[in-house]
């Protein structure tokens, strides 16, 4: 549908909002108050669950638990770099089966919001872009650039056509009521000057012209062109959102962060259930009608899918934790809030809103219908004291920093600061220790020297453009002969990310790294050189590609300067020296983490993790714990690396990177049940430092109320 027909349809529907329903198909439109589905205004609660961050086996229970929590809509991004491996070559299998995910949402009677992007950020490597885009001549991402627009339109059309061919839009009887184009573009728009606004107009028109029959949204985009709806992302949209850019558009909140993503070296962000409820209630009081929890279930960044420095566990503090278990009271408290708001949705949606002050820090928001329906939200914004006040001839004592909901303007049925749900806690039940030395075998990866390399260049190559994201690892090697008088040599390395391991003459010398907020780092390492030719091999490691900011296509990573300083005045500058390169580790090239390739290398039964740091592959087998509880590996004694179970990567780990409190950011790593068979599961650990595999342990995970140790994984009554 072209946009103007769409607007006319919206206007007609506002005038006569009954009727108009095509059997089995939902007509989705909107007015200044809310989305309108089959002629009815709706207040909708939505929850983000990203299909590739869990397994298809987990999807039904995750969706059911979201529904149980009072969620009406499941929101997901579409992950371009999982789906389009090479231009025109697609993968929609297994965890990438978007159609199956949408059909599960539909089967459970929920709606879907499909955020195609295709730029998604999402703490996902390269913001969702396939790395091959980088090599398209003349490309500049996310601006008025023909090559970029071609591939963006091509993928967007691919997804829309896939959804249409499966009948998944609400206009076809499917669950999808909204689609998103672009993502928080306004954050970078100014960097592109007038091309930014031109791109926004193009993206909106391109999307609308695809004719999905349901509205499009743009989040954090105040100039979203009609009929695309601009929506808010953030923690406090009730306070920060400037509102829709037209009186005919509803006020929608597409990312109310339930927590925050975590980076290596960072602490988890704990947002209380009370604080979430306060801001959700405030947004509704201020005539908001759609709120999405980002994330409702975060899940796991399997493989190398996390973006730069982001940990493998994603939003574990969401209402459903990484394993899909209820995190209380974050699940139960919003559930009560949703029920309270749903209970008075008619006066909220059809009534006239007024707001007025009822105290120095207190306000009332009242919705009244001609027919007598009345709902009030009483806000106490005093963060320390109760407020005792009069409202409509009744006296109320309001808790500090709270919103009370009165569905009849008389009685409080819900207060955001009063949590009735019992908190719960995670219980880890040990299932197996891997402490038998003879259960492990190891393979030391090979440190390449200059003469072993086939790719050579007279400069320091940019890391990402050299690996093409085929691996985290890039070897920079050289050989050189120092002057005999270079007696106290110091190896000086400057890197733009993320980790460096340095070796001289095949001996480990030192590792260094940057962090999420401090990109570059330098190292000065006194080294021993021999007379004659020395081999210098430096391993540059990336922990995910960047996912945000303008000009992502021209980011620089890897080594920027390498010198050997003999003394204050004399140094060897290797910046323009002849370097030899190797992309990836030998074990990666041989895929030794796969059962069928184990024989490609010699495994040794004599494991010795205390030996000087080197790149070591460890292998063992284990049986799956009985039962259905989720499973995790405790890697607290390891350093940094990646883990595979039956050939599938469960993600990177980086236990040796401590927070300011001196603890690892993540020690538990999810092993999905779907990756396992009953016995003989192959576990492969690639360790970059000198972590101790003998103290890895396997646990089953459950949750229990604080006061009862009885675990439950089901929905409490
Ligand atoms: C998208 O591009 C692929 C090749 O890159 C091509 O086969 C396909 O026809 C294109 N689709 C559209 C809708 O342009
Ligand atoms: C009523 O709400 C409007 C819009 O949010 C705001 O500008 C105004 O200050 C509010 N009035 C009172 C008395 O709180
Ligand atoms: C509550 O008070 C804080 C601090 O003064 C202010 O930033 C915020 O906007 C207020 N919120 C409401 C809902 O009045
Ligand atoms: C409150 O009480 C006064 C005096 O008794 C009465 O006039 C008024 O109508 C009452 N207001 C409401 C909302 O009940
Ligand atoms: C605040 O009000 C609640 C009831 O709304 C009451 O239970 C509590 O004792 C009060 N707290 C204080 C400090 O007065
Ligand atoms: C719904 O609101 C009515 C008053 O309007 C109240 O009597 C009832 O208990 C509420 N139900 C729920 C589930 O909150
Ligand atoms: C990226 O690498 C290719 C070779 O694979 C090279 O031709 C190109 O110039 C490089 N681009 C940049 C920006 O370094
Ligand atoms: C620095 O080292 C060079 C040889 O690498 C030597 O010739 C020179 O005398 C040294 N200078 C000082 C100040 O030690
Ligand atoms: C340097 O590397 C080459 C090629 O692997 C090797 O033959 C030589 O022995 C190495 N030299 C030293 C000092 O390790
Ligand atoms: C090494 O020796 C050569 C010749 O004696 C001299 O030109 C050069 O500056 C020296 N380089 C360093 C880094 O000491
Ligand atoms: C390395 O080569 C580049 C390009 O040829 C040049 O701009 C730069 O100054 C050189 N750097 C050093 C340290 O020689
Ligand atoms: C748009 C918005 O509200 N952003 C806020 C999200 O929350 C973080 C952390 O509390 C704030 O720093 C942002 O301003």
- What does the pLDDT look like over 450-487, one tens digit per residue? 999 999 999 999 999 999 999 999 999 999 999 888 88
Give me the CATH code for the 2-15+44-343+413-421 domain, please: 3.20.20.80
- What is the four-CA torsion angle of 194, 199, 201, 206, rounded to 10 degrees? 160
> Rounded to an integer, what distance in angstroms lies between the CA atom of residue 526 and that of residue 517?
27
351-389 core/surface letters (b: 16 or more CB in 10 A; e: else): bebeeeebbeebbbbbbbeeeebbbbbbbbbbeeeebeb
- What does the pLDDT look like over 118-146, one tens digit per residue? 999 999 999 999 999 999 999 999 999 99
Check if 240 has its Cβ closer than 6 Å to any atom of ligand 12. Answer: yes
Helix ranges (DSSP H) in 219-331: 237-240, 273-285
Contact 70, 342 (CB under 8 A): yes
What integer pLDDT is reported at residue 392 of this predicted model?
Answer: 96
Of 109, 628, 77, the closest CA to residue 298 belongs to: 77
DSSP letter (8 states) at residue 514: -
**Omega before residue 573 within 30° of 0, cis:** no
Task: Name the strand (E) or helix (H) holding 153.
Answer: helix 146-165
Q: How many Å separate Cα 73 from the centre of its chain?
A: 18
Choosing from 104, 182, 184, 642, which is the catalytic residue? 184
List where CATH 3.20.20.80 sits in the chain.
2-15+44-343+413-421
Report, as an integer, the average pLDDT of 220-247.
91
Class for domain 446-584, per CATH?
mainly beta
Task: Name the strand (E) or helix (H) holding 14.
Answer: helix 3-15
Q: Which residue, judged by its Cα, is nearest atom 10 of ligand 4?
A: 393
* pLDDT above 70 coverage of the chain, percent: 95
Q: Give the residue, 709 or 466, on which the prediction is more confident.
A: 466
DSSP letter (8 states) at residue 610: T
Residue 12 has pLDDT above 60, yes or no: no
> Rounded to an integer, what distance in angstroms lies between the CA atom of residue 422 and that of residue 407?
25
Report, as an integer, the average pLDDT of 490-517.
95
What integer pLDDT is reported at residue 705 of this predicted model?
Answer: 82
Confidence band, pLDDT 50/70/90 cuts, at residue 17: very low
Report, as an integer, the average pLDDT of 280-286.
96
Check if 392 has its Cβ closer than 6 Å to any atom of ligand 4. Answer: yes
Residue 8 has pLDDT above 60, yes or no: no
Which listed ligand is nearest to 415 at the C-alpha?
5
- What does the pLDDT look like over 84-128, one tens digit per residue? 999 999 999 999 999 999 999 999 999 999 999 999 999 999 999
Give me the CATH code for the 426-443+591-712 domain, please: 2.60.120.260
Report how far ligand 4's centroid is from the alpha carbon of 350 (Å): 24
Is residue 255 among the annotated active site residues? yes
What integer pLDDT is reported at residue 20 of this predicted model?
Answer: 36
Residue 261 has pLDDT above 60, yes or no: yes
In the predicted model, what is the mean pLDDT of the chain? 93
Residue 388 has pLDDT above 90, yes or no: yes
Helices 59-68 + 98-107 axis angle, to 10:
40
Helix ranges (DSSP H) in 263-351: 273-285, 332-343, 345-350
Report how far ligand 3's centroid is from the alpha carbon of 381 (Å): 6
Confidence band, pLDDT 50/70/90 cuts, at residue 533: very high
- What does the pLDDT look like over 674-700, one tens digit per residue? 999 999 999 999 999 999 999 999 999
Cβ burial, residue 659 (10 Å; 0-12/13-18/19+): middle
Q: Which residue, judged by its Cα, is nearest atom 3 of ligand 10?
A: 483
Check if 484 has its Cβ closer than 6 Å to any atom of ligand 8. Answer: no
Report how far ligand 8's centroid is from the alpha carbon of 485 (Å): 7
Helix, strand, coil abundance in the chain, percent, nearest 5:
25, 35, 45
Contact 230, 224 (CB under 8 A): yes
Check if 570 has its Cβ closer than 6 Å to any atom of ligand 10. Answer: yes
Q: How many Å separate Cα 252 from the centre of its chain?
A: 21
Ligand 10 pocket test: pick from 483, 484, 563 the residue with the most ligand atoms within 8 Å of its Cβ: 483
> Rounded to an integer, what distance in angstroms lies between the CA atom of residue 638 and that of residue 105?
39
Q: Which residue, judged by its Cα, is nearest atom 3 of ligand 6?
A: 407
540-552 core/surface letters (b: 16 or more CB in 10 A; e: else): bbbbbbbbbebeb
- Pair of tokens at residue 495: 């890197």
> Rounded to an integer, what distance in angstroms lies between the CA atom of residue 346 and that of residue 41?
9
Residue 19 has pLDDT above 50, yes or no: no
pTM of the shown model: 0.92
Is residue 602 among the annotated active site residues? no
- What does the pLDDT look like over 160-194, one tens digit per residue? 999 999 999 999 999 999 999 999 999 999 999 99
What integer pLDDT is reported at residue 395 of this predicted model?
Answer: 97
């Amino acid at each position: 549908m072209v946009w103007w027909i769409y607007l006319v349809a919206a206007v007609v529907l506002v005038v006569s909002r009954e009727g108009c329903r095509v059997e089995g198909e939902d007509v989705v439109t909107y007015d200044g108050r809310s989305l309108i589905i089959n002629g009815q205004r709706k207040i909708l609660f939505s929850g983000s669950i990203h299909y590739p961050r869990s397994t298809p086996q987990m999807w039904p229970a995750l969706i059911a638990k979201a529904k149980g929590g009072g969620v009406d809509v499941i929101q997901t991004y579409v992950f371009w770099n999982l789906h389009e491996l090479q231009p025109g070559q697609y993968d929609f299998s297994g965890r990438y089966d978007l159609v199956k995910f949408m059909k599960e949402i539909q089967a459970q009677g929920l709606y879907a919001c499909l955020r195609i992007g295709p730029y998604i950020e999402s703490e996902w490597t390269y913001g969702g872009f396939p790395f091959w885009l980088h090599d398209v001549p003349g490309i500049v991402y996310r601006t008025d650039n023909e090559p970029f627009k071609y591939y963006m339109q091509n993928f967007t059309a691919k997804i829309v056509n896939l959804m249409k061919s499966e009948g998944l839009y609400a206009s076809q009887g499917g669950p999808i009521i909204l689609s998103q184009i672009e993502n928080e573009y306004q954050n970078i728009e100014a960097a592109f000057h007038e091309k930014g606004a031109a791109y926004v107009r193009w993206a909106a028109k391109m999307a609308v012209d695809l004719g999905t029959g349901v509205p499009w949204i743009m989040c954090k985009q105040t100039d979203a062109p009609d009929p695309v709806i601009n929506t808010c992302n953030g923690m406090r949209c009730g306070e920060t959102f400037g509102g829709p850019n037209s009186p005919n558009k509803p006020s929608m909140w597409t990312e109310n962060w339930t927590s925050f993503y975590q980076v290596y070296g960072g602490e988890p962000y704990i947002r209380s259930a009370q604080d979430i409820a306060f801001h959700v209630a405030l947004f509704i009081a201020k005539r908001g009608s759609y709120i999405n929890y980002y994330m409702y279930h975060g899940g796991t960044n399997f493989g190398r899918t996390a973006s730069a420095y982001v940990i493998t566990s994603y939003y574990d503090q969401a209402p459903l934790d990484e394993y899909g278990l209820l995190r209380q009271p974050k699940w139960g408290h919003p559930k009560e809030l949703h029920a309270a708001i749903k209970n008075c949705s008619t006066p909220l949606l059809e009534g006239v809103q007024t707001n007025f002050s009822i105290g120095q820090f207190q306000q009332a928001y009242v919705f009244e219908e001609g027919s007598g329906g009345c709902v009030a939200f009483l806000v106490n914004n005093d963060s320390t004291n109760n407020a005792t006040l009069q409202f409509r001839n009744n006296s109320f004592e309001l808790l500090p920093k709270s919103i009370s909901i009165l569905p009849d303007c008389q009685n409080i049925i819900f207060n955001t600061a009063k949590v009735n749900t019992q908190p719960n806690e995670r219980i880890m039940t040990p299932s197996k220790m891997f402490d038998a030395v003879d259960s492990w075998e190891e393979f030391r990866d090979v440190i390449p020297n200059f003469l072993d390399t086939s790719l050579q260049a007279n400069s320091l190559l940019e890391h990402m453009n050299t690996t093409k994201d085929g691996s985290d690892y890039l070897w920079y090697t050289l050989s050189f002969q120092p002057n005999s008088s270079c007696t106290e040599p110091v190896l000086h390395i400057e890197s733009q990310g993320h980790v460096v391991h340095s070796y001289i003459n095949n001996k480990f010398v030192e590792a260094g790294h940057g962090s999420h907020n401090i990109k570059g780092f330098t190292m000065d390492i006194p080294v021993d050189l021999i007379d004659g030719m020395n081999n210098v091999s430096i391993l540059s490691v990336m922990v995910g590609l960047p996912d945000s900011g303008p000009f992502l296509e021209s980011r620089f990573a890897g080594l920027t300067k390498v010198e050997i300083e003999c003394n204050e005045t004399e140094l060897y500058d290797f910046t323009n020296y002849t370097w030899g390169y190797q992309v990836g580790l030998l074990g990666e090239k041989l895929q030794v983490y796969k059962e069928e390739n184990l024989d490609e290398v010699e495994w040794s039964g004599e494991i010795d993790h205390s030996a000087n740091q080197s790149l070591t592959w460890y292998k063992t087998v284990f049986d799956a714990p009985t039962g259905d509880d989720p499973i995790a590996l405790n890697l607290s004694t390891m350093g940094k690396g990646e883990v595979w179970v039956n050939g599938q990567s469960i993600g990177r780990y980086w236990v040796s990177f401590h927070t300011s409190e001196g603890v690892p950011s993540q020690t538990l790593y999810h092993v999905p049940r779907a990756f396992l068979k009953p016995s003989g599961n192959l576990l492969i650990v690639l360790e970059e430092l000198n972590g101790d595999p003998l103290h890895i342990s396997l646990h089953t995970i459950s949750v229990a109320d604080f006061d009862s140790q009885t675990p439950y994984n089901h929905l409490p009554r």
